[in-house]
Structure 1
Amino acid sequence: MRVDIEGLTVELAGSRIVEDVTLRADGGQVVGIVGPNGSGKSTLLRCVYRALRPTAGTVRLDGADLHAMDARAGARRLAALPQESAAEFDFTAAEVVAMGRLPHHRGTPFAGRTAADAALCADALDRVGAGHLAGRGFRSLSGGEKQRVLIARAFAQQPQVLVLDEPTNHLDIAHQLEVLSLVRASGLTVLTALHDLNLAARHCDVLYVLDGGRVVAAGPPHDVLGAELLAEVFGVRAHRVTHPETGALQLLFDLTD
């Protein structure tokens, strides 16, 4: 499923947080959104998963205006993992993942749940390496364990588009690599904000760089993450090297003089 963000602008409390952003993610692409703190990444993604209505512009899924869809129809197409999950569910991990099936059923959270739903949820937990957490209370989990359960919930939703805002938060290095590899192998169209530029370079097909709420560069990671741009946008001196096994771009950083 193709995602088009067209002329998106967001004004909050009299300040323009995102300005005239246009972005495209083709079906099956992993598109990364990078930029310094306060550049508008999370605000942009909040418009994509409909937690926020833009001041101007549209978000389209295969040409259809996402904000014109009813909530259930939108949730069958798009799942999201926000940067911060404020709710502390008094449920088991398995029950939290089962909430991903809500767009496919009507009624209370677990009404009409089928054996097929249960199998999908169990598989989603296993895919993120969290099957052993199924019976644990969500509130008892560590930050990294909660993150993996919430990613499993998004997989259980069976969307065509996945929006992830800093999905590697709280994860150790091994689980960062595993989760992003799973996301990449999922075949979904993915929009993700990432702070780690090396993870972005390795796992994303296309990067959009935001600075001051505007897109200042876009393209394949190797083309976008140049030393001049990194110095200007992130305030660091970057040394570009090639990973000896994968051939992916890797960046080594120093502070600018």
Structure 2
Amino acid sequence: MRVDMDDVSVEVAGARLVRDITLHAAAGQVVGLVGPNGSGKSSLLRCVYRALRPATGTVRLDGEDLHAMDAREGARLLAALPQETSAEFDFSVGEVVAMGRLPHRRGATGRLTADDDRICAQALARVGAAHLTDRSLLTLSGGERQRVLIARALAQQPRVLVLDEPTNHLDIAQQLEVLALVRGLGPTVLVALHDLNLAARHCDVLYVIADGRIVASGPPHDVLSPDLLAKVFGVRAHRVRHPDTGAVQLLFDRLTEQEQVALP
């Protein structure tokens, strides 16, 4: 499913956080949003999963205005994993994943059908977490919990998946596992990432956001130039190629005072 954002701006409490963003994600692409803290990545994604309504502009799924859709219809098409997900209640993993079937069930108290059970089991199997079905969510490690929450999103059977910093609080192995998993899921994916090397390796297209605006977009090897990284992130970047995948990888140094002064 194609995702289009046309001239989207976001305001919260009178402050404009995102300005005139135009973004396109083709069906099946993994599109990454990168930028400094506070640049507007999360605010933009909140418009996509309808936690916020754009002050201006439109978000479209295959040409249809997302914010004009019925809430249940939108939830059948799009699933999200926000940056912070509360886990205060002692639900089992199976119960958490079953919550992903709510948009497809009739009535708020409708019971799971055999088809629902099959879909939930398949979602857990896809993320390698079937063995956790009866465990409490509160007992899981960070990596295990992320897998379960992704399984919940998959149980919605979405055509678009929105992930806001899905590798937060994960160790390096877990980060690689989660992003490799996301890469192979099938839906169109919009993902905000802090780690530029992970973004370069796992995304088809990157949008660089600074001060609420897109300042560059395109394939990672085109976008992640030393000049742009100096201007946006304030670092000196050295580009190398991954020896196995050929993906652009970056080594960083701090800019000297003279280099900072020389930036346009």
Structure 2 alignment gaps of length 5 or more:
257-264
1:140 aligns with: 139
CA deviation after TM superposition for structure 1 residue 180, in Å? 1.5
Task: Find the aligned partners of 2:253 and 2:60 in 1 and give their Cα distance.
Answer: 39
1:16 aligns with: 16
Determine if contact 1:147/1:169 at 8 Å carries over to the other structure. Answer: no
1:239 aligns with: 238
Give the % identical residues.
73
Task: Find the aligned partners of 1:185 and 1:56 in 2 and give their Cα distance.
Answer: 33
2:71 aligns with: 71
**1:179 and 2:178 are equivalent in the alignment:** yes
Structure 1 alignment gaps of length 5 or more:
none
Determine if contact 2:87/2:138 at 8 Å carries over to the other structure. Answer: no
**2:9 partner letter:** T
The count of residues paired between Structure 1 and Structure 2 equals 256
**What TM-score, normalized to structure 1?**
0.96
**1:85 and 2:85 are equivalent in the alignment:** yes
Point out 4+ residue stretches in structure 1 off by more than 6 angstroms.
none
The two structures, once aligned, show a CA RMSD in angstroms of 1.3
1:156 aligns with: 155
2:41 aligns with: 41
**2:105 partner letter:** H
SS at match of 1:168: coil
1:94 aligns with: 94
Task: Find the aligned partners of 1:45 and 1:213 in 2 and give their Cα distance.
Answer: 12
Deviations 1:138-178 (A, max 9, x none): 22323332222111101111100000001112222222222
CA deviation after TM superposition for structure 1 residue 189, in Å? 0.6
Task: Find the aligned partners of 2:228 and 2:106 in 1 and give their Cα distance.
Answer: 49
**What TM-score, normalized to structure 2?**
0.93
Deviations 1:205-241 (A, max 9, x none): 1000000000000000000000011011011111000
Task: Find the aligned partners of 1:45 and 1:165 in 2 and give their Cα distance.
Answer: 7
1:30 aligns with: 30
Task: Find the aligned partners of 2:86 and 2:255 in 1 and give their Cα distance.
Answer: 37
**1:116 partner letter:** D
**2:111 partner letter:** G
Deviations 1:238-257 (A, max 9, x none): 10000111111111111111
**1:33 partner letter:** L
Determine if contact 1:92/1:138 at 8 Å carries over to the other structure. Answer: yes
CA deviation after TM superposition for structure 1 residue 41, in Å? 0.2
2:249 aligns with: 250
SS at match of 1:237: strand
CA deviation after TM superposition for structure 1 residue 90, in Å? 2.8
**2:154 partner letter:** F
Determine if contact 1:89/1:96 at 8 Å carries over to the other structure. Answer: no
Counterpart mapping for 1:105-254 below 5 A? 105-108=105-108, 111-254=110-253
